[in-house]
Chains A and B, each alone.
Chain A
C-alpha cells in the first residue's frame, strides 16, 4: 500500500513569502503529526491531529505557523512571512488510532533565502 506522501519535496522561498506544505497520510490512519528537523538534530514536534481535530499545537514555534486537516485526511502546514530560521526539513507522520508507531513521509526541505 501507499505510504505517507508529502509535497513539494523541495521548496525555496524568499524571506517574507508564505509557503504551504502538504501531507497525505496512509489511508485509514487517523493520527497525523508534523515535525521540524534541522540539520544534525532529531525531529521536533510541531502539531498533532486526530481526524480533523488539532489536539496539540504546542510545538508550533510562532503564530506564523498554522496547520489544518479539514476533512481528517490531507493536512497542510502553512508558514507565513517565512524567516531564514524556518529553513529545515518538515516531516509528516501518521499512525493508526491508539498507536504511536508512526510512519514518516519523505519530508519537504524548505530553504528560505
Chain B
C-alpha cells in the first residue's frame, strides 16, 4: 500500500513566523509532488509543485524535496492569518495519492 504521511496537527505558528509543513512518502519511484491548501468547507487549491531534488520558491512559499529521504516539505514565510488552512501533500505514482493533511493555525 503506497502511503503519504503527514502530521495532522494542528500546527500553531505566530503571525510573521515561518511555518514548516512536512510529508513523507513510501514509494521511492514517485516523481511528482504537490502541495494543496484547503480551507474549511472548500476544495483543495494547488499552491506548489516540485519535481526535482532541492528547493523551489514561489513568493512566500518554498517547497523542498529530498528523494533519497523520501521527504517533501513546504515552508511558508511571514505567515499570515489567511494562511490558516489544511495543507495536503500529494504524490504522483501511477495515480495521485494525498496525505490526510496538516491543519495550520496562524496565531494573530
Contacts and interface: CB of A to CB of B under 8 A. Distances in A.
Contacts, number: 45
A102 B96 contact: yes
B46 A43 contact: no
Contacts of B97: 45
Interface string B62-89: 0000000000000000000000000010
A102 B43 CA distance: 12
Contacts of B95: 45, 48, 56, 58-59
Contact of B45 (A41, A43, A104, A107): A104
A91 B100 CA distance: 15
A33 interface: yes
A105 interface: yes
Given A45-B95, A45-B97, A102 B88 contact: no
Interface string A94-113: 00000011111111000000
B96 A103 contact: no
Interface residues of A, number: 21
B90 to A, nearest CB: 8
A40 interface: yes
B49 A107 contact: no
A54 to B, nearest CB: 13
Nearest to A6: B43
A100 to B, nearest CB: 5
Interface of B: 4, 32, 34, 42-46, 49, 88, 90, 92, 94-101
Given A91-B44, A100-B96, 9 more contacts: A35-B98, A42-B90, A42-B100, A45-B95, A58-B95, A100-B49, A100-B92, A104-B43, A105-B43
